[in-house]
Structure 1
Amino acid sequence: MRLRLQLFEFEDLPWFPSVIRAGMMDYLRFMISALRTYQPIVPLLREGLQATGQRRLLELGAGAGGGTEGVALALRRYPELDQLRVTLTDLYPQPAAWQLLAQRNAPVIDFEPAPVDALAVTPALTGFRTIFSAFHHFAPAAAEALLADAVRQNSGIGVFEGAGKHWLEILLAWTVLPVAQLLITPFIRPFRLSRLFFTYVVPLIPLFTIWDGTVSILRLYPPEQLLALARRADPDQRFQWQAGRARHAWGPQVTYLVGWPKVNSYT
């Protein structure tokens, strides 16, 4: 599917209730972790970390931290990355969800409690930048600015979306995934009565999840568009870029863009 529609997602709207947004993000984190969505891109991140000499991932737009734990633990199995650390950041921080991840994985995962703008990251926050399941939220101009900020600060970056942008994924978002959400919600941690209320009594979380999940796929940048954004963000060709789709052995795909400074571009 090459079509990209810049529709809106409710979770992006400033007025959207935080309790509903948190419930949606908690579900997304649970599913990404349970399905090991981002395991196919571990070798790509390993290559980027080796090329840049970084031993910290700086996750932008972290949401509830979906995918972070599995990817970090997989990377730390490599001897050269056994000291890897991860810092979670977001424009809308979720310290309650992050605290759970940090405690369970101390000292591997920590977080920045203050809002962080992915388009202008403070230089004090260093590391190889990652964006899981969030890059599609940015319209082309903002997406280009996000990549340009990484280039300007000479920071490697990886953009990862847990879909291959296929019509079948939209069908799943309307059929299988809502049923799964109803089944797994009681097992999501941290436990929240509000999550149960807005899932089973007033089912706003499932309804908004269906809409945002569908729009996410329609807004997702295919690999050729990701590369075009990267080239505009890096007009001097300081970085080496690659984009594509990584596939799970059991079928699902991850769309990705990774880039890091060329050898003669390091500061």
Structure 2
Amino acid sequence: MPVDLGIRILRRAGVAESAYDRYSVVAGPVVALFVAHGRGAVTGAGPVDGYAGPEDFEERHLLRTGRAALPAGRPLPGVVGALRTGRDRNLRYDYGSLPESRSRVLEAVRGIPRGQLRPVDWLGPEAGMPDATAAELLEAVRSGPAPVLIPVHRLGDEDGRPVDCGLPVALTERLRAYEGIDEERLGRFAAAGTHYLGSGTTRIFCYPTCAHARRITDRHRVPFGSAAAARHAGYRPCLSCRPVAA
């Protein structure tokens, strides 16, 4: 039986494609996902092993979006590449009925580069919500329609440890390892009370996983416990990772 039989039947019945979503199973390098899409945008996604089966995904998708999801043979263009590379900037997401503030938080999460981490508090200023609490920001993150594609695993506490972002901790750790995030190195920094790294040559400070921070040599690396301490020492925040005041 063709995977897209249901879609063919609806087409023959004259039902517009805009009336339903399609979904497929996409195998990624770390985890396989159910990925639903409609009208050129991702409408829902989640790890296959987080559902009892395809019917469970379909039911939960219907409850969340109010739209039926039917099996399709091909995923939305760009999804396979996004899973392989960890870069989803060419994808569009349909956030449905989510409040605009939560959509902004999720878009901020999308801006975290592959192989880097940001503390939850970083999301507030990035989303134009500087007064939002960590609990409010995490609630927005967990409400997102497509964890993994939207890289919630790149969020952590101030020491870089995984937070409750809607994914199992074990999966978060596997995704981070695939992206080359060195948890042992972060653990050593955390044990020493280091949350930011400064460059003695540029006088700029970054988050430890920032691409610029990783290029600082041992000789020129200056550890800081807070952004305030770095500023007090005459260092400027990195324009790439944009560390928040702490």
- Could you say whether these structures have the same fold, taking a TM-score greater than 0.5 normalized by the shorter chain as the test? no
TM-score range, shorter chain: under 0.3
Q: Highest relative contact order (Cα 8 Å, sep 6+), 1 or 2?
A: 1
TM-score in terms of structure 1 length: 0.25
Greater percentage in helix = 1
